[in-house]
Amino acid sequence: MEKRKIGKSNIDASVICLGTWAIGGGPWWGDSDDQESIKAIKASVDAGITFIDTAPAYGFGHSEEVVGKAVKGIRDKVVLSTKCGLWWHGDEGTHFFDMDGYTVRRCLKPETMRRELELSLKRLDTDYIDLYITHWQEAGDSPTPIADTMGCLLDFKKEGKIRAIGASNTSLDDIREYTKNGQLDTVQERYTMLDRHLEPDYTNLCGELGVSIMAYSTLEQGLLTGKIGMDAVFSDTEYRNEIPWFKPENRRKVLSMLSGWKDLTAKYDCTLAQLVVAWTAVQKGITFPLVGARKERHAQENAKAGALTIEADDIRRMRDDVETLGEPVE
């Protein structure tokens, strides 16, 4: 599988990154079988996916614990990414959401970040984290200055506890402020062929500054696999209900578009999911598409997307089809 550099760091990681939000389970994703998840993570590594992304907020520590168990004994073979900034251990920060009895706040104060880092190291059962990302930027009237947050991250780096620095859910001004105060290697942002809001200002800025982009929700929570039909119904708490493309009138248009790509999946001997992931990986500015997997076969399918090369004419055709969809009905 192709490997790409994480920003200006000396870390090379697989172009496909395994996202482990769903592995954390909880109200967003429902129950998750830990043993199946561990098998999926190991299968990903065996198939060439060396980049694994997690976060404390994924199942309130559960995803990190599962990832830690899965990479035990093969830690040197993987690039581990986790996050900080969603805080539920105290009253610091600004309220973000309530779930499962926890009150979660956005907080990027150095004192809470250090506590989060120690908790993550323990859950992951490792001495260091390859890529440490601020999960959400602080809100409110007087957020912690990014200079203070970056200063703390640079301290972690000097101490050998992290190797590279990232930020997620950022604005253009956030990126400029981070890079003014230190080396920002990557940002992790929502980007799918149905949601290309990063183009062109965001992708251009990251390119100019040498910042990689990790694209999350690559498969639009499963919609772009073509496996979620018009008869699919979701529970009230599922995250998919918040995505306009899942509304019936929008979903119908997406499924029609995907159906029109049958000749492409036949041409490249691939699934729709592999086709979409491979397309995402070659979009300007996108460095690492994140794709989730809770079963071995899904992990193996994801890995094949990292070795799939789509001809330029077909890449353009797919973009034209996507742009023809227009904006979703809200």
- Count of beta carbons in the 10 Å neighbourhood of residue 158: 9
Residue 327 neighbours by CB under 8 Å, 6+ apart: none
Residue 39: which H helix or E strand, with range?
helix 34-46
Show contacts of 117-120: CB within 8 Å, 24+ apart: 117/84, 117/156, 117/161, 117/162, 119/56, 119/61, 120/56, 120/64, 120/82, 120/84
Active site residue 268: no
Percent helix / strand / coil, the chain, rounded to 5: 45, 20, 40
Task: Give the number of residues written for the chain.
Answer: 330
Give the C-alpha separation, 14 to 11, whole Å. 10
Q: How far is CA 138 from CA 9, 80, 149, 204, in A?
A: 25, 24, 10, 24
Give the C-alpha separation, 295 to 33, whole Å. 9
Q: Which of 58, 132, 191, 202 does the annotation list as catalytic?
A: 58
- Count of beta carbons in the 10 Å neighbourhood of residue 35: 9
Q: Are 224 and 254 in contact (CB under 8 A)?
A: yes
What's phi and psi for 319, nearest 5 deg?
Answer: -65, -40
Give the C-alpha separation, 166 to 185, whole Å. 6
Q: Please give the angle made by the CA atoms of 280, 282 and 287, to the nearest 5 degrees.
A: 80
Give the sign of the dihedral formed by CA 63, CA 64, CA 65, CA 66: positive
Annotated catalytic sites, by residue?
A: 58
